[in-house]
Structure 1
Amino acid sequence: MGDYAEAEGIALKRLAEERKAWRKDHPFGFVAKPMKNPDGSLDLMTWNCSIPGKKGTLWEGGLFSLRMYFKPEYPTTPPKCKFEPPLFHPNVFPSGTVCLSLLDEEKHWRPAVTIKQILLGIQDLLDHPNPKDPAQADAYTLYIQNRKEYDTRVKKQADAERGMLRMEIIPKDGDVNCSPEFHQLVTLAVLFLKAVG
């Protein structure tokens, strides 16, 4: 029992450091924050995150929700990262769990890997699937056999996520009386509210 409590203490300390580092410096458009318990305290073992689609890719414009689940053995073991709702992607299991070598203890996981590095790695994976490590049969098959149809599905998915953001009051670039600067300002405000919410 003592080993478990000690391991969890190490995990909580590291996650508190990760939170502090994230709040000080994180990539534009990303969100990563511990969940709140019903009593208002933070659950450092479960984080709500959002990953923006990378500019210039089919994923651009989408903001994809992901939850990170940490075990008491973290950082020796990687977190489980799960898109909620699940994404159509060759390296995302139908459950939403991300299949990425960076998150695999037997491949590239190292205890020094940060939350920032994980989220940037997942963002990169969105547009650069690994066909050697498929997790979702339909997405994998379409990606390999009919890239045009795969791209259409991905674009539709990103557009749907952009639509969800629009429902949160973000005006579309080019809307009447909406300058690009205003669009960016409102987008930042919504992302900020999600981050502190």
Structure 2
Amino acid sequence: MSGGIARGRLAEERKAWRKNHPHVGFCGKAGDVNRWIGQFDGVELSYSGKARTEWEGGFYPLTLHFSEDYPSKPPKCKFPPGFFHPNVYPSGTVCLSILNEDSGWRPAITVKQILVGIQDLLDTPNPADPAQTDGYQLYMQDKEEYKKRVRQQAKMYPALL
């Protein structure tokens, strides 16, 4: 990484995060957000499921991969492979309109907006843009079973001590 626009933008994002980060349940893990600069291999965060939702109790690992083309191109956001959600591909890649470099991405979108968007997507799946068959079909055909499966997944990702 030779520096440039991506490094400068991430430095600004880091400053903004430190002043006003979202209280949405995201926290730094191995790749602490204070080390965004130079972390183009992936900033590792964990999302703590919102209280009073099926996601509560889980601590879900999420990696943001920034390329040298950031912010011209969006970061790749991934949960672990096999993550159960209608808008997460089997590979773990998040399917969210603001992360689509061909249509929804704009360089003005911030990391904070991305994280809030991912949280909203988990809580409210978008059935118009499915990324995995199992999650989509269960969400559309049997909401109670879908919620049960999400609660089971929460137990697979317990809070870190």
Aligned letter for 1:158? A
Q: Deviations over 1:10-30 (max 9, x none)?
A: 001101111122122212331
Within 5 Å, give how 1:59-138 maps onto structure 2: 59-84=55-80, 86-138=82-134
Separation in 2 of the partners of 1:123 and 1:60? 12
TM-score by length of 2: 0.86
Alpha-carbon offset, residue 55 of structure 1: 2.4
Within 5 Å, give how 1:11-22 maps onto structure 2: 11-22=6-17
Contact 1:11 1:73 in 2 (8 A): yes
- Point out which structure has higher relative CO (alpha carbons under 8 A, 6+ apart): 2
The answer for the alignment partner of 1:191 in structure 2 is: none
Tell me whether 1:26 sits opposite 2:18 in the alignment: no
**From 48, 53, 59, the counterpart of 1:57:** 53
Alpha-carbon offset, residue 102 of structure 1: 0.9
Alpha-carbon offset, residue 160 of structure 1: 3.0
Alpha-carbon offset, residue 85 of structure 1: 5.1
Contact 1:91 1:136 in 2 (8 A): yes
Structure with the greater alpha carbon radius of gyration: 1
Q: Deviations over 1:151-180 (max 9, x none)?
A: 10001112332xx22x62xxxxxxxxxxxx
Contact 2:10 2:37 in 1 (8 A): no
Alpha-carbon offset, residue 71 of structure 1: 1.3
TM-aligned CA distance change 1:32 to 1:17, over 3 Å: farther
Give the paired residue count: 157
TM-aligned CA distance change 1:72 to 1:13, over 3 Å: same
Tell me whether 1:144 sits opposite 2:140 in the alignment: yes
SS at match of 2:38: strand
Stretch of structure 1 that moved more, 128-137 or 21-30: 21-30
Q: Deviations over 1:129-153 (max 9, x none)?
A: 1111111111111111121111100
Contact 1:50 1:66 in 2 (8 A): yes
SS at match of 1:68: strand
Separation in 2 of the partners of 1:15 and 1:63? 25
Identity of aligned residues (%): 55
Alpha-carbon offset, residue 44 of structure 1: 2.8
TM-score by length of 1: 0.72
SS at match of 1:44: coil
The answer for the alignment partner of 1:174 in structure 2 is: none
Contact 1:65 1:85 in 2 (8 A): no
SS at match of 1:72: coil
SS at match of 1:126: helix
> As a proportion of its length, which structure holds more helix?
1
Alpha-carbon offset, residue 83 of structure 1: 0.6
Alpha-carbon offset, residue 108 of structure 1: 2.0
Unaligned runs of 5+ in 1: 169-197
